Amino acid sequence: MCGRFALFSPLDRLANLVGTAVPEHNARPRYNVAPGTWIAAVRQGAEDEAPIFDEMWWGYRPKWAKGNGNQPINARVETVATNAYFKNAFAKHRCLIPADGWYEWIKNSKPKQPHYICRVDREPLFFAGIFAEREDGSMGCAIVTEPGRGSAAEVHDRMPLILDDDSLKHWLAPDVTDRETIRSLVHHIDAGLIEHWAVSTAVNKPAEGQGEELINPA
């Protein structure tokens, strides 16, 4: 799964990587992004327009579900195309969620021991996401997850679906809606690019820990 991440790369740099317009204002660095908050995401713009940066609520609940629907933060790659709650978004409303790394916790550790997971070259990551319009007209999103791979699997059995550079445009493409076509065009990054290390348990409390020191080795 993915329940916490960090994003501190400037949005103008991320915009250049993914081919979007540069946002007017850079977001403040966040080292402990939690669900139920507004996050930066990239989605396709209007027809024939370039992708754009948008602000989305991390919690997916389509407006047709009203206030009674679940608000998941993750969607499993194995079922996102067929699950009734997600399949329309998977076909028509896919997004990219930028991050510099994410946190997972060693199971059965007391206190819960977080690890920070990122690329070995410290390049930014782009998580595959889906989104839908919420009842209030804003957008809510979920991060697509896959089975843990490589070093990340040492910490948790699930991880975000992290797309390689060549897949970004295909994931956002509005005319690519078929599951098998998406599977043929979209690929995750090589597992060998991922590493992790233990960090402070201050990560466990987002209200108390938000500084750069959170990603330092414990």
Q: Which token pair is 6?
A: 């960090």
Is 118 an active-site residue? no
The catalytic position among 24, 47, 78, 104 is 104
Going by their DSSP bridges, the two strands 74-76 and 139-147 should be labelled as: parallel
Whether residue 129 contacts residue 143, with contact meaning beta carbons closer than 8 Å, is answered with: yes
User: Of the residues 2, 95, 118, 141, which is catalytic?
Assistant: 2
Characterise 192 by phi-psi region: left (phi > 0), alpha (psi -120 to 50), beta (else). Answer: alpha
Only one residue has tokens 């098998």, namely 180
* Whether residue 2 lies in the annotated active site: yes
Rounded to whole angstroms, the Cα distance separating 122 from 150 reads: 16
The whole-angstrom separation of Cα 74 and Cα 70 is: 11
* Residues annotated catalytic, as ranges: 2, 104
